Amino acid sequence: MKNKYIFWLLVSFLIAGVSCEEEEILVKGFTASEGTHVGVVHLTYKKASGVEAYEIQRKNPGSGSWEQIAYIKGWVPDKVFDDNGIWLTNNRLLPGQEYGYRIRAYPQNESASPWSDVETGYIFAPSPRIAKVKYEADENPENDGVFTFTIKDPLPNNLSNLVYRTINIYRAKAATSNFVSLSLNNYRVEGMDSTIYVTCYNKNADAPYDYKLEISYHYSYTIVSEEGSNLDGGRADYIYQSLIITEDDIDIDDGSIETVSYNVLNYNEINSSSSGAKYGTIMCKDGSTVYLGYFDNWSGLSGTPAIMRNTGSSWEIVGGTLPSELLSDNSIDEFDFTVSEGIIYLAALSSDTLFVYKYDGSWSANLSTSTLWGTTKPNYLDIAVLSNELYLTIKQEDKINVFKYTGSEWVQIGNTIASGFFTDTKLKDIEGILYVWYEGHVNESTETTFYISHFNGSSWELDLQWTKDAASDFDIIKAGSDIYFKCSGQSSGFLGGIYKVTSTTTVTNLFVDGSLMHTPMSITSDGSGNIIASVVNGTTVINFQIGVFVYDGSVWKKVNDDYSEVSIHGRSSGVQTINNDIHFVYGLKSSEDGLGYATILKAKKYSK
């Protein structure tokens, strides 16, 4: 029994000794980044009590010896350190090379603690490439043409210290070494886009060419003062330089777009009661009938609503003569309509009146009430019909609300959707669900945040909140279970796109080429789930035109037709489908007035 007691006493002492030794390792949570930082390995550790200083060492991969890279006083609040390669060859870390790190603490009035376990880290290794080169010659052969380079530069989602990138492209006649810069000023790229389009102006007389790509990744990092008592921030550049890139390594784009053939039925001119300017086409369908709305006699500020329908062989005015009070108001600047089960619903807004009508063989009285108008002139009017009930969205003062018409009054549904600097509210019934979308803005900024929500039960649920500089003129559709939207751009760097919603904060741009398809004007989907859009396209501004495009889930194809007579001005084009037939309405370029608005609309039907 005595020997057994002595044995357990010895075991207890051994365990206690091990525990004490483990407690001496004061540094916990030591980590080293693995490819998530440019130019540096980011080291973090947890604060330990009673520590005077921390020492960090890196194992030199060349000599195999451990070298001190940091000595940080214990009271420094940020427990981070960025290793930028100090004491190594050229004082830099190499991409593709792993580095070992360890840390220990110096407790007050005691010797150093044991070293931590070794952590391995490495820097981000870029792998950019030139994926495509497209050349567009100028009409004048004496002038420079336009080169558009598609650069693929995949970045990890958590590349946290990248500030911006600058891109330079060098070119030489093939098999020579006389490389010169095509981009005289480095092309600066903000954000984390993995596909970048770089435009340069030059001639193409000596093709074929070889290229070199140079990207400078400007990044931030932390530094420690010499006495180890302060952490500060620094900036540096990590420069990637490619080897020679031949044209065999690149997709050389000749500017052509794949086409798809449809049978074309030309309806020729759409006649209306006015020979004035046409503006702001709206297209919808009810059953197997396509409807068209637009402003007639548009002055540039206001006009008169017009509604037409396709009979199968022509376009005709529908609804007869509009209500006289609507026709006599010369200040209508907003207008929307929809059709459900043969009944037409129309809403319009002028400087002092809000009009809402229903047509079922004859026009109703104005259904608007003071509930819709509010206390001051409202803005951004749109309507939808769901299950034979009329809904209307409008911005009252700074609040976006949606109302339902009960047959005698308007009742708000759900809470106020948004309050503040919001514009361009739209409403649509999509597959039996009510959707609303609108734009959010910031004073003295071109930044736009786009919101999509749908009504569920008694409240609005968010489908998307997405920010893009200089974006505007949104419209949404669904194809299958996915939401898609189109938008225009208001800057030379962004002309618009068509996007698939992938989460409540992320989207995918379907304009993957980006060089010939520019601004989408209208969007819908056909019976096969293809996306149909009318899009401004072309190689240079002087030959831009609007064409009809089909997206089958993988590639865009242009409907094979002559679009030379289509006006690109005045929002006069639109597309709508019945099954797989595409109805295309457009302004006639030769009919444009002095302000650029078409005074004649034409229409075609594309069918298989």
**Whole-angstrom distance, CA of residue 325 vs CA of residue 309:** 23
| pLDDT given at position 248 | 79
Give the domain CATH number at 98. Answer: 2.60.40.10
| pLDDT given at position 199 | 82
Both 58 and 172 in a single domain? no
The answer to whether residue 326 sits within a structural domain is yes
Calculate ∠ Cα 438-441-444, nearest 5°.
160
pLDDT tens per residue across span 419-440:
999 999 999 999 999 999 999 9
Domain end position, chosen among 93, 121, 149: 121
**Whole-angstrom distance, CA of residue 604 vs CA of residue 266:** 5
pLDDT tens per residue across span 469-505:
889 999 999 998 999 999 998 765 678 899 999 999 9
**Whole-angstrom distance, CA of residue 525 vs CA of residue 523:** 7
pLDDT tens per residue across span 45-66:
988 888 888 999 999 998 899 9
Q: Which residue, 38, 35, 40, is CA-closest to 83?
A: 40
pLDDT above 70 (res 397) = yes
User: For residues 105 and 137, which has the higher predicted lDDT (pLDDT)?
Assistant: 105
Both 390 and 264 in a single domain? yes
**Whole-angstrom distance, CA of residue 322 vs CA of residue 337:** 13
Task: State phi, psi for 248 to the nearest 5 degrees.
Answer: -70, -20
Section 448-473 average pLDDT: 95
| pLDDT given at position 541 | 62
**Whole-angstrom distance, CA of residue 181 vs CA of residue 200:** 10
Both 62 and 95 in a single domain? yes
The answer to whether residue 9 sits within a structural domain is no
Section 113-135 average pLDDT: 90
Domain containing 431 equals 259-607
The answer to whether residue 418 sits within a structural domain is yes
Section 176-189 average pLDDT: 79
CA–centroid distance for 114 within its chain:
51
Both 286 and 161 in a single domain? no
Q: Are 264 and 606 in contact (CB under 8 A)?
A: yes
Give the domain CATH number at 213. Answer: 2.60.40
Please tell me the least confidently modeled range out of 6-20, 173-187, 208-222, 546-560: 6-20
* Per-position DSSP letters for 203-265, written without gaps between them: --TT-SEEEEEEEEEEEEEEEE-TTS--EEEEEEEEEEE---EEGGGSEEE-S---EE--EEE
Task: State phi, psi for 147 to the nearest 5 degrees.
Answer: -100, 130
Cβ atoms within 10 Å of 593's Cβ, excluding its own: 15
Residue 406 token pair: 């009960």
Both 552 and 439 in a single domain? yes
Q: Which residue, 506, 573, 574, 520, is CA-closest to 551?
A: 520
Domain end position, chosen among 253, 281, 301: 253
Section 183-193 average pLDDT: 74
Both 372 and 294 in a single domain? yes
**Whole-angstrom distance, CA of residue 350 vs CA of residue 334:** 7
**Whole-angstrom distance, CA of residue 131 vs CA of residue 557:** 20
What CA–CA distances, in Å, run from 116 to 102, 104, 207, 358, 493? 6, 6, 59, 77, 50
Q: Tell me the torsion sign for CA atoms 411, 413, 415, 420.
A: negative
**Whole-angstrom distance, CA of residue 368 vs CA of residue 410:** 8
Q: Sorting pLDDT into bands at 50, 70 and 90, what band is 253?
A: low
Both 295 and 194 in a single domain? no
CA–centroid distance for 229 within its chain:
44
Both 222 and 266 in a single domain? no
The answer to whether residue 37 sits within a structural domain is yes
Domain end position, chosen among 221, 237, 253: 253
Task: Give the residue carrying structure tokens 């298989």.
Answer: 608
pLDDT tens per residue across span 369-391:
999 998 899 999 999 999 999 99
Both 243 and 351 in a single domain? no
| pLDDT given at position 575 | 98
Give the domain CATH number at 597. Answer: 2.120.10.70
pLDDT above 60 (res 514) = no
The answer to whether residue 1 sits within a structural domain is no
pLDDT tens per residue across span 270-291:
977 667 899 999 999 999 999 9
Strand partners, 423: 439
Section 582-608 average pLDDT: 94
pLDDT tens per residue across span 2-28:
444 333 333 343 434 443 444 455 788
pLDDT above 50 (res 260) = yes
The answer to whether residue 210 sits within a structural domain is yes
Both 344 and 492 in a single domain? yes
The answer to whether residue 10 sits within a structural domain is no
Both 349 and 473 in a single domain? yes
Tally of domains in the chain: 3
Q: Are 261 and 606 in contact (CB under 8 A)?
A: no
DSSP assignment letter at 541: G
Compute the residue count for the chain.
608
Both 82 and 135 in a single domain? no
The answer to whether residue 5 sits within a structural domain is no
Reduce the secondary structure of 543-582 to three states and give it as a string: HCEEEEEEECCCCEEEECCCCCCECCCCCCCEEEEECCEE
